[in-house]
Amino acid sequence: MPDIELTDSVQGYLAVPESGSGPVVVVIQEWWGVNDQIRRTADRFAAEGFVAFAPDFYNGVVTKEPDEAAKLMMGLEMPRVAQIVADAVDELLQRPEAASDKAGVTGYCMGGGLALLAPTVTDAIIATSAYYPATPWADYQPHWDAYEDKGAQIHTSEGDGGSTAEHIVAAADAITDAGGTVAIYDYPGTQHAFTNDDRPEVYDEVATDEAWARTVELFRSHLS
């Protein structure tokens, strides 16, 4: 399915399963933008039976240059990003394709950090799967108490410090303190972005498949 405009302020890529309906999963981009790799990821979720939507925070801009990607990421205003995620989920759950009234979120790198925050912006998001999350928004104060009775996964790379990295431990503590559950998975020998098959220098197929199976199971168990 081509890019769509969910609301006046929310646009992105929508992938719908062959059945025409399924539980809603939001797929959050890396700092490169909503590129072909993110679209393929949304398509892969649709093949598993989910209605997958990748919101476009950069309004159509896609880059392969790290310096430009960093500028785009740091130019994001967190209250606006939070509102886009909340509005996207609200709109998706009202569409005829939605098979339940709750949603899951996943994301990678920058998107992993945003995926960790997603359950704090709306009660409708009850499960999140964050991949090697980057959390560069030190001044943003999420409402961690919204994680009560929600589930999270964090998939870490060895190159980022794994499950003992300070920001991973801090997020996990905040989630459990709020009454949520969190599972942290280490993937030995992996580097940051190990699921990105457009980057053969870091891509790890075995780790990617293992993390994918865990993510799909999380969403099936929480959203079905």
Structural contact between residues 31 and 73, judged by C-beta atoms closer than 8 angstroms:
yes
User: Rounded CA gap, 29 and 34, in Å?
Assistant: 6
Count of structural domains, the chain: 1
Enclosing H/E stretch for 220:
helix 205-223
User: Rounded CA gap, 65 and 17, in Å?
Assistant: 33
The domain that holds 73 is classified in CATH as 3.40.50.1820
**What is the pTM for the complete model shown?**
0.96
56-109 pLDDT, tens per residue? Answer: 999 999 999 999 999 999 999 999 999 999 999 999 999 999 999 999 999 999
Domain residue limits at 183: 3-223
The DSSP output letter for 98 is E
Average confidence (pLDDT) over 123-128 = 98
136-152 pLDDT, tens per residue? Answer: 887 888 999 999 999 99
